[in-house]
Structure 1
Amino acid sequence: MRQISAIPLRVLTLCLIALPALTAGAADTGSGTARGLPADLTAPFLVVVPRTSAEAERIAHATRPAEQFDAPEQFESNPAGAATVRVRDDADAFSLSSANMPFERELNFKVGNGLFRKLWVSSPSSTKASDGLGPLYNARSCQRCHLKDGRGHPPEGPEDSRVSMFLRLSVPAAGTEMSKIEAILLSIGAEIPRTRPDPVYGGQLQDFAVSGHAAEGRMEISYENIDVTLTDGEIVRLRNPSYRVGDLAYGPLHEDVMLSPRVAPPMIGLGLIEAIPAAAILANADPEDADGNGISGKPQIVWSFEHARPMLGRFGWKAGAPSIREQSASAFAGDIGISNPIFEAPAGDCTSRQERCVSGPHGDDDARGQEIDIEGLDLVTFYSRNLGVPARRDISDPEVLRGKETFYETGCTACHWPKFVTNRLEGQPEQSFQLIWPYTDLLLHDMGPGLADDRPEGRANGREWRTPPLWGVGLTERVNGHSNFLHDGRARSLLEAILWHGGEAEAARDRVISMPKPERDALLRFLESL
């Protein structure tokens, strides 16, 4: 294969606009009904431009897996298509707006950034536009969790902040009575393990509180070392975490409580993930492993509280949120205690057994109605939708190309699917019809007992996780000053993250353990180039 030089973004845009397309509705219907799922899992808030059937072949050509590895693929340097941003050599590498954003939309991005970084204060306050924090919370701003719009990390000592990681809480649902939402999801074939929030502490442990209130408790982590010996004799020491809650302020947790640690994921490329056609995601689903390759990814189906309908889950470690706007609204309510148009309770995640929290002063008593109003939520959503993905580095390096081939040969692409073409969208030029390289299938996969949190969420059981996108992983240390990966940050390097893979990924992991060191080093170099 001949060397392909970098192609200007405007040329990439023109190439993709020239692609004809397949009807999104028809494709969604075909993939959905084939698996007993609802015919239409598309996002109703996206204005999708109808495509022609002739486009299917051209999209299939653009997204087919690589077959030759002696040179980069066309457009590979631009993982976010025309939205790809330049690579910065500082910690702001994840904080640029989509490169193809029209100038007149930049102000919305900057105002949204201001709201994302805004420090909320407790009520009552003279700053009416900023009050409503808590009373119980995990952080005072979105940016405090998503540090530099990047990846959170577990605390590395008693003095280290816990604001970029928290514990989700739930208990098994008692009895046979089910909620209306559960009944609807079950009726469409979206089988779900039924759970409820902890009756006292709610859906997540909140380890901060405003003055006059007590924080719920403190997450405590201990580690056990596990040594893995690679074929060449190198020993990699993994750390296996255990979690408990100390200093409980409102009585004991439920005896059957399930704890799930979560670090804040990076924010880049979310709008492009949202713009991937549901049909393209469902096309990779194989819940019964019909092809016998040992990979049985299944789509997450969740209830949209905003649109009152089942939708395809895309965001969060178990794909528990269907849209950026709903994910943002949920984080405002659960992480900061800020009511909003989707989750209106002014006390956030407080339960009826936390009476002082529920009855205390809140910031929803002014003209805004909720503590953040529709306009504010829309601006934060716009900002989150348009955080750009940096360009690839070193894509022509022979070791990177060899590592890419190893990535394919090892079977990593069975879950980390390389490419998609996004929907044509009205009103969203940044995400419309782009060839993107997120390296994820956005499906749920069994990752084995080592990574299990034993806590179901939606259709995901206690061993299943959504395949996370890999774009930007090589810039994690530059942006966040650490190299912690996986849902709880236990892995301190990309190699440790690979070695924690089990379940459906066990065979791929074992190939990495047994491969010669130069081949393994090349694989890591490829990942660092993403």
Structure 2
Amino acid sequence: MMGKACVRALLGSALLTACVGGGTVRHESSTRIAADTGPDDTTITSPFPVPAAGATTASAHLPGIVPLFAPQAPIETLQFTLPDGTLVTRFGNRAVGRHGRERGEEWNEAGQGPNETVDEAGQPVDKGRGASLSFVPNSFRNRTWGLEIIDDSRVAGVTRPTLKVNTYNPTVDFLPGGTAFFRAFDRVGVTGYGWMDNGELLDRSGAICRPVGYPANGQPGTDHCTVLVKGYPAHAGLGADGFPDGRTVAARPLKIGDAVEVAPSMYTTSRAMQARGDAGGIRYVAGEWLYVVGQGLTPWHGVQPRLNSAPLPESVLSGGSGSVSYNYSDEGARMFQQPAGNIGMQNMQRFLEGRRTAHSSFVTGAHDESGNDPMTAVANLAGQRFNASSCVQCHTGNGRSPAPFMVGQRLEGMAFHVAVMDADGALRPDPRYGSAILMNAASASGASRDGGNAVKVAGFETRVVTLADGTTVELRKPRFAFDGPTPQRWSARAAQPLIGVGLLEAVPEADILARVRSKPDPDGVRGQANFSVDPETGVTRLGRFGWKATKASVRHQVAAALLNDMAVTSPVFPNRSCSMDPAGCRAAPPQIGITEGDLTALTHYMQLLAVPAQRSLASGFPKGVAPMEEHRVDPVQVAAGRRVFDALRCAACHTAEMKTGSTHPFAELRDQTIRPFTDLLLHDMGPDLADSLPEGRAPAAMWRTPALWGIGYTEKVAQWTPVGYLHDGRARTLTEAILWHGGEAAKARQRFERLPTADRAALLAWLRSL
């Protein structure tokens, strides 16, 4: 049979027909593909190329799999070297509410010094979390700017290096003095969060810095709003107790390897803001960066005597050089919302515009945070039925969806993928629900109400596991009840954390496929790739995202979530019939949906979400200040826990380290060594974790290995929402999650069950440090 081969893959659980080249494959279930012949009369047994039996995975290139990204110039250049050796580093800033080492109060207020705030009983008052990781109202409007550090420390013949720091913003005026360097905590008399500017303004006239456009990629910029840093600052000497003793130490010249703290502020004129139709403030602070002379930006943590900034070692940078630095403002709930720490000047703006879309209702356009203007462009785009009206209603704090924890609970924060299997063995969308159950319906007022499709918790099945040391653990599995007809095939899916998806997208296909085992290892672990038909081009790609690895790219995943969770159409899925009739998806007339610009912005936001650095190092809090809970770290126990993890052979699936490629559009994601603890492959997890809905090459018991990075922040990010692990949120603790492992992970679980108490505690401490 000649012509193009049309193959069908699952979108959610719906089948999508696409043509991918010569030959034909019948429309069959993705778990039972009938043989057919290609143009050369060879037998086609699968719609996707599969490694030959016994082939080593390193040589199994799978002809026909199209990489996500071809070689290309990055959207924005972050760092480059001029011919004379001058190092140019560029990064973006956004307005935030407070400085990075404040948690509501100054350090001297936390039980120290004469200025502390006390209650009627004379006890120090905790003013709550800080605002260094927060997002100010309308953060997406006129509240980003860029810094460029020009470093001549590696220029031949330079003996007294300098850092020239230029400020860029194309829309607003800047008042001079908006960039400060070097915390002044070691100076006599400075007990709070003082600053010392060791730079020298080149423009001493006090003139307002007028708007200037961002510099071209890889090209020298323009000296504008410039600070010249000529040396390390003078500071007070320290006594034995770590506090200033009155001695002074003279400034010295900069040298390669010096760690220079950078804390920009945004001072603008009211005239400039008003001219842009913006009623926002005229003074904002920004985050904090650490610049290493001769090297560039680096994530940091706080050391003695008072959380002085020091570079984090490479071994704890879970998300590479863009990892989120340690948080000292008590804002653990916001740790999954941060941009890459190495984000570019203009990419910061792209990130915030996408964030606005993620936090806006596709029913009303309202932003879920107070003080933000509504986003009218996405209002009324949700279909008549939907689960959530915004992305963050399911992804709490960009983390997991609320867990099923009580009888009668409605589960619109989760996704229920559904299908029917026809007599010919092919899976097709459910005739009532389509690819996924949408539980709410739009009302005349724009609010949501029960649409008759709700899924609720009907009860729980429980059993008890006794570990070798006598500890008993209750395992609990939810039972679900459907308001409408019970689907023939269905799968409960919890929303997964969004952090690091851009980094996973940047891992080369060949590196992922190299981990596929054609024969099981001694524990029975294999690992299998899933594949996906690109819904826009029809080419076959490697699956990376979703619980069954059926989505090839972040854009694909975002567009599928918009369609299946909110019934929002997009350039990827232009008609709501894509959920009910995948074969006719692109042939149906397009319906009004999210624009290409807003879909791209939302995709960019997801791609640039950063991963927190591992908290395996003790922090040097000021004298008398107790560490926050997330920083009560025992480095020895954490290190022991990693050894237990390795001894259990958990890394057979939860791959510890990967390297991203050099072709992703964002330079922030290129050539990064990352530690996601996933292989992005499918593994058989045994009957206890099986559902009734296969997808692609993933039968009911097969699941893509979830990443572990950030897992220690799960409860912080969820705040008051009960957390749940595994695909249906059943596991209330990490211990429960491990004890549900079966199939290929059964032997690793059995080793866990036999662990001594101290080793089990160490393993859990290590997991909580991620």
TM range (shorter): 0.7 to 0.9
Is it true that 1:342 corresponds to 2:603 in the alignment? no
Is it true that 1:152 corresponds to 2:378 in the alignment? no
The answer to which structure has the higher strand fraction is 2
Once the two structures are superposed, what CA deviation does each residue of 1:407-450 show, in whole Å capped at 9, x if it has no partner?
Answer: 00101000000001100136411101000000000000000011
What code does the residue aligned with 1:217 have? N
Alignment coverage as a number of residue pairs: 441
Aligned twin of 1:374: 596
Aligned twin of 2:497: 266
What code does the residue aligned with 1:220 have? K
Is it true that 1:320 corresponds to 2:550 in the alignment? yes
Aligned twin of 2:641: 403
CA distance in 1, matches of 2:551, 2:465: 35
Q: Is the 8 A contact 1:425 1:431 kept in 2?
A: no
Once the two structures are superposed, what CA deviation does each residue of 1:144-171 show, in whole Å capped at 9, x if it has no partner?
Answer: 1111111112343468563321211012
Q: Is the 8 A contact 1:333 1:343 kept in 2?
A: yes
Is it true that 1:116 corresponds to 2:358 in the alignment? yes
What code does the residue aligned with 1:154 have? A
Among 84, 98, 116, the alignment partner of 2:323 is 84
Identity within the alignment, %: 36
CA distance in 2, matches of 1:304, 1:373: 19
Among 429, 438, 449, the alignment partner of 2:676 is 438
Is it true that 1:302 corresponds to 2:539 in the alignment? no
Aligned twin of 1:413: 651
Q: Is the 8 A contact 2:680 2:706 kept in 1?
A: yes
Is it true that 1:391 corresponds to 2:613 in the alignment? yes
* Structure 1 segments (4+ residues) deviating >6 Å: 28-33
| Residue 36 (structure 1) shift | 8.0
Is it true that 1:230 corresponds to 2:467 in the alignment? yes
- 3-state secondary structure, aligned to 2:662: coil
- Report the CA distance shift for 1:461/1:129 in structure 2 as closer, same or farther (over 3 A): closer
Aligned twin of 2:506: 275
User: Counterparts of 1:126-165 in structure 2 under 5 Å?
Assistant: 127=376, 129-157=378-406, 162-165=411-414
Aligned twin of 1:490: 730
Once the two structures are superposed, what CA deviation does each residue of 1:209-262 show, in whole Å capped at 9, x if it has no partner?
Answer: 11279724121222111100001111000102222312x2xxx455xx112111
The answer to which structure has the higher helix fraction is 1
- 3-state secondary structure, aligned to 2:334: coil
CA distance in 2, matches of 1:156, 1:241: 8
CA distance in 2, matches of 1:157, 1:512: 29
- 3-state secondary structure, aligned to 2:336: coil
- 3-state secondary structure, aligned to 1:202: coil
CA distance in 1, matches of 2:664, 2:639: 37
What code does the residue aligned with 1:200 have? R
Q: Is the 8 A contact 1:393 1:529 kept in 2?
A: yes
CA distance in 2, matches of 1:147, 1:340: 23
| Residue 103 (structure 1) shift | 1.6
| Residue 104 (structure 1) shift | 1.8
CA distance in 1, matches of 2:413, 2:760: 31
User: Counterparts of 1:23-102 in structure 2 under 5 Å?
Assistant: 34-35=59-60, 37-38=62-63, 40-44=65-69, 47=72, 75-88=314-327, 89-90=330-331, 91-102=333-344
CA distance in 1, matches of 2:361, 2:467: 47
| Residue 469 (structure 1) shift | 0.4
TM-score (norm 2): 0.54
Q: Is the 8 A contact 1:229 1:235 kept in 2?
A: yes
Is it true that 1:220 corresponds to 2:220 in the alignment? no
CA distance in 2, matches of 1:400, 1:128: 47
Q: Is the 8 A contact 1:205 1:217 kept in 2?
A: yes
| Residue 374 (structure 1) shift | 0.6
| Residue 302 (structure 1) shift | 1.3
CA distance in 1, matches of 2:580, 2:71: 33
Q: Is the 8 A contact 1:301 1:458 kept in 2?
A: yes
| Residue 175 (structure 1) shift | 1.9
What code does the residue aligned with 1:37 have? L
Aligned twin of 1:428: 666
- Report the CA distance shift for 1:351/1:219 in structure 2 as closer, same or farther (over 3 A): farther
- Report the CA distance shift for 1:426/1:488 in structure 2 as closer, same or farther (over 3 A): closer
| Residue 350 (structure 1) shift | 5.8
Aligned twin of 1:181: none
- 3-state secondary structure, aligned to 1:478: helix
Q: Is the 8 A contact 1:134 1:348 kept in 2?
A: no
CA distance in 2, matches of 1:216, 1:312: 37
The two structures, once aligned, show a CA RMSD in angstroms of: 2.8
CA distance in 2, matches of 1:321, 1:223: 31
Q: Is the 8 A contact 2:528 2:681 kept in 1?
A: yes
CA distance in 2, matches of 1:163, 1:298: 31
Q: Is the 8 A contact 1:48 1:424 kept in 2?
A: no
- 3-state secondary structure, aligned to 1:465: strand
Is it true that 1:171 corresponds to 2:420 in the alignment? yes
| Residue 34 (structure 1) shift | 4.4
Q: Is the 8 A contact 1:169 1:203 kept in 2?
A: yes
Give the number of the structure with larger relative contact order, counting CA–CA contacts within 8 Å between residues 6 or more apart.
1
CA distance in 1, matches of 2:381, 2:314: 46
- 3-state secondary structure, aligned to 1:76: helix
Q: Which runs of 5+ in 2 are unaligned?
A: 1-50, 75-311, 366-374, 583-587, 618-633
What code does the residue aligned with 2:356 have? G
User: Counterparts of 1:512-527 in structure 2 under 5 Å?
Assistant: 512-527=752-767
- Report the CA distance shift for 1:329/1:80 in structure 2 as closer, same or farther (over 3 A): same
Aligned twin of 2:45: none
CA distance in 2, matches of 1:163, 1:214: 10
- 3-state secondary structure, aligned to 1:93: helix
- 3-state secondary structure, aligned to 2:353: helix
CA distance in 2, matches of 1:302, 1:426: 19
Aligned twin of 2:429: 197
User: Counterparts of 1:441-520 in structure 2 under 5 Å?
Assistant: 441-481=679-719, 482-520=722-760
- Report the CA distance shift for 1:344/1:216 in structure 2 as closer, same or farther (over 3 A): farther
What code does the residue aligned with 2:544 have? R
What code does the residue aligned with 2:733 have? S
CA distance in 1, matches of 2:361, 2:440: 14
CA distance in 1, matches of 2:461, 2:410: 22
Is it true that 1:240 corresponds to 2:482 in the alignment? no
